[in-house]
Structure formats: C-alpha cells, structure tokens
Amino acid sequence: MMSRMMMTPCLLEIVGLQACIGAERRLGPLDLRLEVGERVALLGPSGVGKSTLLRLIAAELTPQGGQVRFEGRDLTGWSGAGLARRRAVLPQSHAVAFGLNAELVVALGRAALDPDPQGADIVAEAMAQACAGHLLGRRFDTLSGGEQARVQLARVFAQLWDVEAGLLLVDEPLAALDPGLQLELMEAITGFARMRGHALLAVLHDVQLALGHFGRLWLLGPEGGIRDLPADAGDERVRQALQALYRIDFHRVDTPDGPALVPARHRRSV
C-alpha cells in the first residue's frame, strides 16, 4: 500500500482556497491534501462552513481564491461527466422527483456513466450494501428519513461501484439514523471505500464516529481555518482542539474499543 501511495499523485490538493461564508465571514485560506485511500472526518460547529467546503471540493461552488486540484488537475479543467466517473457526492439534503421508486433513485447514481448490462445488478448490490435491500420497489417519497438516507447512500455506492481509487464526499450521512444503524452504515461506508481504495471525506457531528472510523480530522473553526490532526482519542492535542472547537470539555475514558472522548455535562467557561 505504501509503495502504491508513494507512486500515486496526491488525489486532492487544496491550495490557498478562499471563499465567502454568508455575508460576513470567510473560509480559508486553506492548504490541505488528501491522499488515495485516506479517510478524513470534517468536524466543526454548526454553520461554520463544512458543507460549503465540501461543495467547493465537489465543484458545486466556485472559490473566491486559490485552487482545488483533483488527480493533479484544477477542478475547472474537469467536465461534469469526467468528475462523475471518479468521485461521488452525498449532500446533506436531496431533492428527488415525485414518485420515483427506490431503485430508480439509486440508478440515478449511474446516469452519467456509459450504459452497462450489469447496471441493474449493481443497483441491487449497492442497495444491499447500504442496508436498503428491503426497500426495493418502494416509492422514495413514502420512505422514512433514515430509509431515504440509506437509498441515497446506495446511489453513491452505485456510482463508484466499479471505480478504483476515487473520491467519496459525504455530508452528514448518518444524521437521520438510530445508533445501531449509524454504526452499521459507518462500517458499510468505510468498508466500501477500503475495498476499492477510495478516499473518503465525511462531514460529521459525532466525534466518536469520527475518532473510531477515520484516519485524520479536519477541524474547521469559526475563524475559517482548519486544524489537521490524527483521529486519535489518546492524543492530548486532539482533546484540547475539540474542546476549543466546541467550547465544551471532553473526558477521556477507556473503553473495550480503546480510548474515547465523552462530552462533559457542564459548558466550558472560556
């Protein structure tokens, strides 16, 4: 793996990226790198600009300054179809045409790809992998929030099903799910990415999921800068940085799964 990563150019390179956040705040300038197969959780307080950054990386927004390079090429040099073959985006909210059934929504993930006789099988397998196999034939707009989230996850799985070393961008993919399903889908997402060598960048609010399933944390603060730290609950720098970010204390506790950071009941005074 190491020799492959040394030979492969950086998957995603963010150089001096700047953007507006609402009317008054700015994001950046940011300099960040994501290598092939890496897993990074993007954390920060609500409204700080996480989705905005993800949309800049997805080429859905244009920066005010700087560059996002994907596979060595500025995003402005990619066609929509070219990007769709190499990276998939799961946004925080989805608008879906009235009346589509679940497998049609999943098949939309492959709409920009060449026609494939295996397409229907891939859709069914992607739904199974996203714990949505039982929703085949159901109308999307009759599904619960958690069921819709699984179908949308299956859509991005279908898009990158037969791609290697691509990029998966997901924005709060587990927000509408119960704790058991959160864990199951977190493992489905990381397992899917690991098997194909995809890099994964996920906006999350759950610190424990971020620490347990990712290699690095990008901590986005209200001043528009990012701290890049290992996703290691045993690292005191991580505890300190999370405390400053969310303005709460975190207790470090030992669990059978290793160290964990648990929010304290009192608010931090400074």
Ligand X SMILES: Nc1ncnc2c1ncn2[C@@H]1O[C@H](COP(=O)(O)OP(=O)(O)OP(=O)(O)O)[C@@H](O)[C@H]1O
Which residues of this protein are in contact with ligand X, per CB under 6 A?
21-22, 44, 46-52
Nearer to ligand X, 47 or 65 (CB): 47
Q: Give the shortest CB-102-to-ligand X separation in angstroms.
A: 25
Nearer to ligand X, 53 or 127 (CB): 53
Nearer to ligand X, 43 or 127 (CB): 43
CB 17 within 8 A of CB 56: yes
Nearer to ligand X, 132 or 168 (CB): 168
Would strands 12-21 and 25-34 be described as parallel, antiparallel, or unpaired? antiparallel
For residues 261 and 270, what is the distance between their CA atoms, to the nearest angstrom?
19
Q: Give the shortest CB-55-to-ligand X separation in angstroms.
A: 8
Q: What is the largest CA-CA distance in the chain?
A: 60
Alpha helices by DSSP H, the chain: 2-7, 50-57, 80-84, 102-107, 119-129, 145-159, 179-196, 207-213, 236-246
Q: Give the shortest CB-92-to-ligand X separation in angstroms.
A: 6
Q: Which residues contact 204 (CB under 8 A, 6 or more apart)?
A: 41, 42, 43, 172, 174, 210
Q: Give the shortest CB-264-to-ligand X separation in angstroms.
A: 21
Q: Give the shortest CB-44-to-ligand X separation in angstroms.
A: 6
Q: Give the shortest CB-256-to-ligand X separation in angstroms.
A: 30
Nearer to ligand X, 1 or 95 (CB): 95
Nearer to ligand X, 122 or 241 (CB): 241
- Residue whose C-alpha is closest to residue 37's, from 6, 79, 80: 6
What does residue 219 show for φ and ψ, rounded to 5 degrees?
-100, 110
Q: Which residues contact 195 (CB under 8 A, 6 or more apart)?
A: none
Q: Give the shortest CB-93-to-ligand X separation in angstroms.
A: 10
What region does 170 belong to: left with phi over 0, alpha with psi -120 to 50, or beta?
Answer: beta
For 147, 159, 176, 189, the CA distances from 199, given in Å and listed in that order, are 25, 14, 23, 11
Nearer to ligand X, 44 or 63 (CB): 44
